[in-house]
Structure 1
Amino acid sequence: MGREFKAMLAPASAPHSFKPKNIYTAVVKTLFSLYDTVLVAAFFQFLFCVLLPPGFSVVPSAVLLLGYAATSLIHYLTPSSSVNPYTQHVVPGRATAQLPGPSGSFGAAPGAQGGLVVFILGVQWNHPLGILCPGGKDVSQKFLAMNADLLRRREELGLLSVNNWNGASLETATSTSITYYFRDVESIHRFAHEELHRKAWDWFSGRRYKHIGIFHETFIVPARSYETGYVNCIPAGLGRGVVRCEDAGGEGQWVNTLVSADTPALRTQMSRLGRDAQGNPKE
């Protein structure tokens, strides 16, 4: 029997959160990458130029650029600072995700604590106004309401991890998706037939917005049939997962799924899948 896997993060009294403490990064820096926000900033710049003498027209952009440069320099010079939003939640070293048992122990066998279900839920705004299109805000609010309900009931529904992703895979489409990791598909099915989801679906079906698309994908993964690898990452994917364990150092502790991959049983992709070097399942 090998050594028990070592947790990378300590148990906590509430689910682990990896949101940056410094809101500047999440808001100001995205001005340089979000098309809609740049347009809004350009509009206010235009008003500034119209209402004030010409010499003041450089003030808004100069202030923004100076703030961007100053904070970037501070973050560059203090990479280990607790307030650096780029490094404050990074888990150093090699890690992988394993599900803990009821006691909070990970055991010594990869993927031995059961399978999981990956459920991806997404929406596309196929419209020039993006999320500001007719019905866009209402769809977004209903998505957020269902997500909030799932997070409130994560222990009841066996919800392990939640990841939000935004992108524009098509030049004419703005999309967002949420990837959920569950213990079983039965919980997803039950939630889909509850009142909150049924009302949202009936509302969407009745509106028939041709410029708004929604999608989902479900993948049922048996035990010892999944593996993950992270190196110097802010927890992502299944690595963001938490499980409430009654006996993990105290009643009601939440245990993160990340464990150290610096052990023979977790060092390679095949070993994490419980297979030998040729890909054959180990007994």
Structure 2
Amino acid sequence: MFSTPNPGHTTAAAEGEVVLFLIGMRINHFRAPHHWLPVMLGMPRMLRELSAEPDSGLLGYQLLTGSPRTYYVVQYWESTEKLLHYASAPEKLHHGAWARINRMMRDSGQHVGLWHETYVVPAGNYETIYHDMPAFGLAGATGVLPLESRGRTARQRLAHGSAAGPAD
């Protein structure tokens, strides 16, 4: 499926703070799919669950690969609170999946590696530019605006939404 590119320079319509959550796995031993396949299949289920709930806080995501061994998801969240709520809610898929993965990891013999990173980016500390691109990244999660709506310079765009305001 191909999306139509937005012509010219655009930017993400994000407002305020952005929470960036990266989570991934590395297959350490391909010959042990019974250890890594359940991990790989768990994430799409959780993403479907989150996407079906508009108030979940998940703004958007992208599934990516770094190599034949490494797979990860870039997620954009509305707030830290909503990310943490999903992670700990006993009625959500993550809660049970995390318990199963922890048990499996104890017995896996290092067949699969897991990682995640969370970044809370305050308003005025991010800038996005897309040129002749479909909605992608943060713009795919929050919408697309003409670049000029955030300012003519990188300094102005970085200051958008911050208390300091534009410096140029």
Gaps of 5+ in 1: 1-19, 21-84, 100-112, 243-256
User: Which one of the candidate residues 1, 5, 10 is aligned to 1:95?
Assistant: 10
Deviations 1:134-193 (A, max 9, x none): 22221122112111111112x21222221111121xxxx611111111111001111111
User: Which one of the candidate residues 196, 200, 216 is aligned to 2:97?
Assistant: 200
User: Which one of the candidate residues 253, 267, 270 is aligned to 2:152?
Assistant: 267
Q: Runs (4+) of structure 1 moved beyond 4 Å?
A: none
Equivalent residue for 2:72?
Answer: 177
Kindly report which structure 2 residues correspond to 1:124-163, keeping only aligned pairs within 5 A, or say none.
Answer: 124-129=26-31, 133-153=33-53, 155-163=54-62
Contact 1:166/1:177 (CA < 8 Å) preserved in 2?
yes
Larger fraction in strand? 2
Q: CA RMSD in A?
A: 2.1
Report the Cα offset of residue 225 of structure 1. 1.8
- Mapped pair 1:114 → 2:16: yes
Distance in structure 2 (CA, Å) of the matches to 1:188 and 1:158: 7
Distance in structure 2 (CA, Å) of the matches to 1:149 and 1:282: 39
> 3-state SS of the aligned residue for 1:114?
coil
> 3-state SS of the aligned residue for 2:23?
strand
- Mapped pair 1:215 → 2:100: no
Distance in structure 1 (CA, Å) of the matches to 2:158 and 2:6: 22
Contact 1:119/1:179 (CA < 8 Å) preserved in 2?
yes
Distance in structure 2 (CA, Å) of the matches to 1:147 and 1:200: 13
Amino acid corresponding to residue 146 of structure 2 in structure 1: S
> 3-state SS of the aligned residue for 1:134?
helix
Q: Which has the larger radius of gyration?
A: 1
Amino acid corresponding to residue 61 of structure 2 in structure 1: V
Aligned length: 159
Distance in structure 2 (CA, Å) of the matches to 1:236 and 1:127: 32
Distance in structure 2 (CA, Å) of the matches to 1:241 and 1:274: 20
The two structures have a TM-score, normalised by structure 2, of 0.84
Gaps of 5+ in 2: none
